[in-house]
Amino acid sequence: MACPREIENMWQMVKEQLRQETASTVYDLWYGGIVPESFDAAENRLLFSTDSAFKLKVLNEKYKPIIEEKFAAVTGMDVQVSFCLSGDAEKEEPAPAAEPQNEEPSAPRAPFDGAEAASRYTFENFIVGDSNRFAQAACWKVAKNPSREWNPLFIYGPSGVGKTHLLYAVVNEIRRQRPNAKIIYTKGDDFTNYMIDCITHKDMSAFRERYRGCDVLLVDDIQFISGKVATQEEFFHTFQALFDEGKQIILASDRPPHEINPLEERLRSRFEQGLLADINPPNIELRVAIIKKKAEDYGIDLPGDVLTYLAENLRSNIRQIEGSIKKLVAKSMVDGRQISLELAKDCIADLLGDAEPLGVTIDKVFAEVFKKYNITKEEIIGKKRTKEIARARHIAIYLVREITEMSYPNIGKLFGRDHATVMSSLDVVKKRIVADPLFAIDVENMKRDVVGH
């Protein structure tokens, strides 16, 4: 049974993800040469062929779970993977290598530089909005003039908001301008693991040569050195050596330096001596732009209602948005269904997890407004325009927009008003918040009661 074209297309999506996360030699050897042969839809079993009995054994022992895990992550499908030999495959496995006898430990192997597999992350395809504009501008300036703008540059924000994309974009821009620059991108835990490896092999000179001999050092997830005394000691000396030589240092973390605990004070002060740039979760306008761009990358045109639904409900981070688009494309291909609002709801139901449904949050807004002003939901969305009802309506519209980030047209539908009326209500409340501190406190307390903190 031939493998359906839809499955072949999904395999291409999975391979692209593997290519980004795997060293090129590993990718070419183990993933590049396997071919999907058939797909059993009843059992979700996908059969691959390879041309080598030796590869067959290694694929089954080591790479099968990785491929299955990546299929689940990229397509949302739990696929059982198996392998067979292609028709012209070699029939005999090579004899196993003899066990080494009392060999000296080999030299420590340098960790894989993830930036090598990240050429697709550039400033050009980083979508800029209010939540990330400052961090993007800071990274751009540093990429154009390493060590001349801000050193160190410390970027922080929650997971999945684009910090790693910006670090890779810096790497790619510097390489474009200065091909001979020695750039190292690593993660906090990789820094620790390589240090341990070098200590084990009694070769700390290799460690220091690697990190202190570069022109630009980028460390992602620097918070992972928290609590590691020996790692912090070594990183302090690495940092100081590079800084003293005028080499650029860029760090990224899920929190600002003063919240990384325990962290040596001398490191904290050095992290804070340069420029700190935060990135926040994308607002709805930025999410719309990101979703449209991701959909275009996969060659699909999302209907307007699907685009709005995804933007209003996927509020966590950009990785969640990207995962939902991939799953939507995959499910559309496998099920043979047009992309629709119903399909979108099916795809993101598990991504939303325990998040409160949008309707429940909106009902809480109306309940909070009623508690404060004794104006019911029916009166708020009705036609009456008394001063008291208009005030409650303005505040309800403001709270819905602030808490849910619903689009103006959808808020208009909810309240039975047009787009212009929604914007006018928001403007009324915002101006009064600025002019009346007591009113501002009341609105903030209502907002806090709705969201529960």
Which residues, listed in sequence order, are joined to residue 47 by a DSSP beta bridge?
38, 82
**Centroid of chain to Cα 399:** 28
Distance of alpha carbon 79 from alpha carbon 58, whole angstroms: 19
How far from chain centre, in Å, is Cα 419?
A: 32
- Give the pLDDT confidence of 105-152 residue by residue, as tens digits: 455 555 555 555 467 789 998 989 888 999 999 999 999 998 887 999
Residues in the chain predicted with pLDDT less than 70, given as ranges, are 1-6, 23-25, 76, 87-118, 316, 334-335, 350-357, 453
Rounded Cα gap, residues 43 and 172, in angstroms: 43
What CATH topology corresponds to 358-451?
Chromosomal Replication Initiator Protein Dnaa; Chain: A; (1.10.1750)
Architecture of the domain delimited by 284-352: Orthogonal Bundle (1.10)
Give SS3 for 187: strand
What are 144's two structure tokens?
A: 């154009």
- 142 three-class SS: helix
Q: Residue 50: enclosing H or E segment and its boundaries?
A: strand 45-50
- Could you tell me which of 387, 385, 388, 364 has the C-alpha nearest to residue 375? 388
Per-residue pLDDT at 41: 72
Is the Cβ–Cβ distance between 147 and 153 less than 8 Å?
Answer: no
**CATH class given for the domain over 114-278:** alpha beta
pLDDT value of position 113: 56
Amino acid at 110: A
Can you spell out the DSSP letters for 101-122?
-SPPPPPPPPPP-GGGG-TT--
Of 182, 185, 210, nearest in space to 198 by CA: 210
Asked if residues 194 and 207 have their Cβ atoms less than 8 Å apart, the reply is yes
Percentages helix, strand, coil for the chain, rounded to the nearest 5? 60, 10, 35
Q: 369 near 396, Cβ under 8 Å?
A: yes
- Delimit the domains of the chain by residue range: 5-85, 114-278, 284-352, 358-451
Contact 224, 253 (CB under 8 A): no
Q: What is the pLDDT of residue 316?
A: 67
Rounded to 5 degrees, φ, ψ at 81 are: -100, 140
CA-CA distance, 324 to 315, in Å (whole number)? 12
Complete edge-to-edge strand list for the sheet that includes strand 80-85 = 35-40, 45-50, 80-85
**What CATH fold (topology level) applies to the domain 5-85?**
GMP Synthetase; Chain A, domain 3 (3.30.300)
pLDDT at residue 25 in the model: 61
The H or E element that residue 192 is part of is helix 188-200
217 beta partners: 184, 249
> Phi, psi (5° rounding) for residue 270?
-75, -35
